[in-house]
Amino acid sequence: MTPAEISPGLVVSVATPDLKLSDFKLIAFDMDSTLINIECVDEIADAVGRKAEVAAITEASMRGDIADFKESLRRRVALLKGVSLSQMDEVYHQRLKLNPGAAELVHACKAVGMKVLLVSGGFTFFADRIRDELGIDYTRANVLEISDGRLTGKLVDQPWGDICDGEEKRKMLLETCGKLGINPLQAIAMGDGANDLPMMGVAGLSVAYRAKPRVREQAMVAINEGGLDRLLEVLK
C-alpha cells in the first residue's frame, strides 16, 4: 500500500481493514521523545554545562548516523560524571512531561486488556517513575551508577546484559510476547529513533511518533502531528 495521509499529520502505510485495538495483546513504547517529551540524557547533561555536546551525539544516534548505540551511550554517560541526585530529581520534576495523549493511549490499551511494555535506551531513574505513574506492566532500561549521591559516569551491568540498545529492545519485546504466550504479530511497537527499528520490525504494527525520517519511512503508521492517542484513529 502506498503511504496515505488519512488525516493531517497521520500517515498510514499498511492496509488496516477493521483492525481494532483489542486485536492486539501488547504495546511496547520507547520512552525518551516518544512516551515523554525530552531526551533525559541531554537534560541531565545540561546540569554540568554539557548539553550541546551530549545532544549532538544523541541526535546522530537517533538518526542512525552512529551505528553503535552502546558506544554512543557510554560516551554520553561519561560526560554526566558528577551530576547529583538532586539535579536528576530536578530534571524529572521540572523538565520531564508525558507527551500529549500518552496517558490516554495507555489507558485505552489497558481497558481492552492489553499489557504495556516500556523499553528504553534511557535510564531506570526515570523509567521506573513513569512505570508507576502510568501503571506499566514491564520495563527495561539502563541503570546509572551512583556513588555518594552523584553519577560516576558509568552504567551498571544487569542480569540481562549491559545496555538496552535496539537489539535488546527487540529481544525484550519477543521475550515479553513469550511470557504472555502471544505471537509478536499481536504486539504494537512505538518509537521515534533508529534504535527502535529492531523492535518495530518484529511487531505486528509499527508506529513512528514524531520520528526521525528513517523511522517514519519504515513504520506502518506515522504520527507526525498531535498526540500519541492519534493511534486510536487507526485502531478503533
Query: What is the spatial distance between Cα 151 and Cα 215, in angstroms, rounded to a whole number?
Result: 32
Is 148 annotated as catalytic?
no
Catalytic residue among 23, 30, 46, 162: 30
pLDDT of 14 reads: 80
Is 132 annotated as catalytic?
no
pLDDT of 91 reads: 97
What are the pLDDT tens digits along the chain (236 aa)? 578 888 899 999 887 667 899 999 999 999 999 999 999 999 999 988 999 999 999 999 988 898 899 999 999 999 999 999 999 999 999 999 999 999 999 999 999 999 999 999 999 999 999 999 999 999 999 999 999 999 999 999 999 999 999 999 999 999 999 999 999 999 999 999 999 999 999 999 999 999 999 999 999 999 999 999 999 999 98
Query: What is the spatial distance between Cα 68 and Cα 193, in angstroms, rounded to a whole number?
Result: 13
Catalytic residue among 23, 32, 89, 148: 32
Query: What is the spatial distance between Cα 90 and Cα 126, in angstroms, rounded to a whole number?
Result: 11
pLDDT of 17 reads: 64
Spatial neighbors of 39 by CB under 8 A, at least 6 apart, are: 32, 33, 55, 58, 62, 122
Query: For the CA atoms of 40, 69, 227, 229, what is the dihedral angle to 10 degrees?
Result: -120
Rg of the chain taking only CA atoms, in angstroms: 17
Query: What is the spatial distance between Cα 62 and Cα 214, in angstroms, rounded to a whole number?
Result: 10
Q: Are strands 221-223 and 26-29 parallel, antiparallel or unpaired?
A: unpaired
Write down the H helix ranges in the chain: 40-46, 51-63, 69-78, 85-90, 102-111, 124-134, 166-180, 197-202, 213-218
Domains defined along the chain, listed by start: 4-38+98-233 (3.40.50.1000)
pLDDT of 1 reads: 59
